[in-house]
Chain A
Amino acid sequence: MLVFVTRRLLVALSVALTVSIVSFLLLHFSGDLATSIAGPDATAEQVEKIRVEFGLDQPIVEQYFHWLVSAVQLNFGRSYYFQDSVMSLISERLPITLTLGGLALGLAILVAIPLGVIAAIKQNTWIDRLALSFAVVGQAMPSFWFGLTLIIVFAVNLHWLPAGGNSSWQHFVLPAICLGYYAMPAMMRLTRTGMLEVLNSDYIRTARSKGLNESTVVLKHALRNAVIPVVALAAVELGFMLGGSVIVESVFSLRGLGQLAWDSISRNDYPVVQAVVLIIAVFYIALTFFADVLNALLDPRLRVR
């Protein structure tokens, strides 16, 4: 187990390092940052001045190492726009995005797992079809459009919930529904197929032969085994949701990390963009790492090894 964790940890760290290089290079080769920062009306001297000021005249390798060494110390430099340290901007916004992601994931799990279980038990009945349709529609719905629709219905017409902002918990309800519905279909389908597979397994037949109640058979013997892969998926989905929060946060004017990234992209504020990309990637890597470990803990066959 220890060997397994150590090895996974090393892989995770090296992937994080690679991601940092890739995201750094992607931004640097997509265009001339100095020109972008200076804006379209800047003169050649102004561009040069900015180039020197932000160290963009240095060789790219040097720039990267300089950035990486600071980034490891959680120093991502200063924002071009806010004239504030990137880290303080991020630490202000991150909790909002994490709250949103956590709520959305919780909601998705609360809907997906029971729905998947019921769909599997009632396979090929109208309940199953309804659950599958719910998932298929969720997969097809553009999240920005679903967000706007939620606003029209629940904020504007029904006045139940606020349309945007983040001053109270009510502000998180609609964004969490929007983001959660995006993550739900995959988890529901995985729960359903997992349950179908497990319910046909020999050990479920054994459990039934012991005369246990149907609820014990389903909830104790089947669900535990069917839900193991869903846990891993949930962690990965949370990672995706943090990355996808850009869209939902911009729709609901939720001042989280995603909106910070989006604003910074439109303002050519690259130190912030780079930091957010890296942080979200590191979160994703950490989440998949924890998912692997959690998987190993839940499955005794992996745990003992």
Chain B
Amino acid sequence: MSSNKIRSLIIDDDPFIRDLLQDKLHQYLPEVEVLGSATSGSQGLAMINEFQPDLIFLDVEMADMTGFEMLAKLEDIRFQTIFITSYSHYAIKAIRFNALDYLVKPIDLGELKESIKRYKANIQQNKRPDNVQQALINFNTKKVSDQTLILQTQEGELRLILKNIIRVEGERNYSYIHLANNKKKLTTKTLGDMEELLGEKGFFRCHKSHLVNFSYIKAYPNSTTIMLSDDTELPIARRKKDEFKSWYERWNAV
């Protein structure tokens, strides 16, 4: 067996997904060697310890534990993880927030090939598999504003603690993230993408071009304007007035 092979494990309690993924890897990505398949989180832990894989394909929701609970039981994570989830799973937001790699069941071949390409690029760049570690830290961080958002950018990975983001400004297909240290970062995500990532974490899209962090709202003098602590004045879109008011009151009460 060539040492260049990617040594992998499949951990999923659905026999159909295990077979399908194994067949697709075998047929189209022979460089990925499947060392074995685990049918539960606890079996997955045993197999990880036994095989020390380079890569695991991990189901988000298994009968005995979630994929994240399984990872949290490991002392050290030395492998890359590609999560397997369904289209409508609630964990998909957390996966995107932490810039984790994932495949949607029943596993599109093109997406699988892209995931393996990203895996190889990470290995070439000697990138440690610490997004998963960061995700586990985020899950245990009760205070939302202390959580860290991970974004993949053209210049590399960007990690931002939410409490340091004042606002996000949309500019067609990309966004500027304005930070508390007066710097601004460019991301290729649209404002809609950013809203999806931050919408339940104390941010509100008050206008088609602006997403604002509640923590930096200094004043809300009238129904059409917000003053921020860096003295920026942001408009509230007319159709967002009522929604903004109830969001503002809700977060004010927290």
A binds B: no
Contacts from A to B (Cβ < 8 Å): none
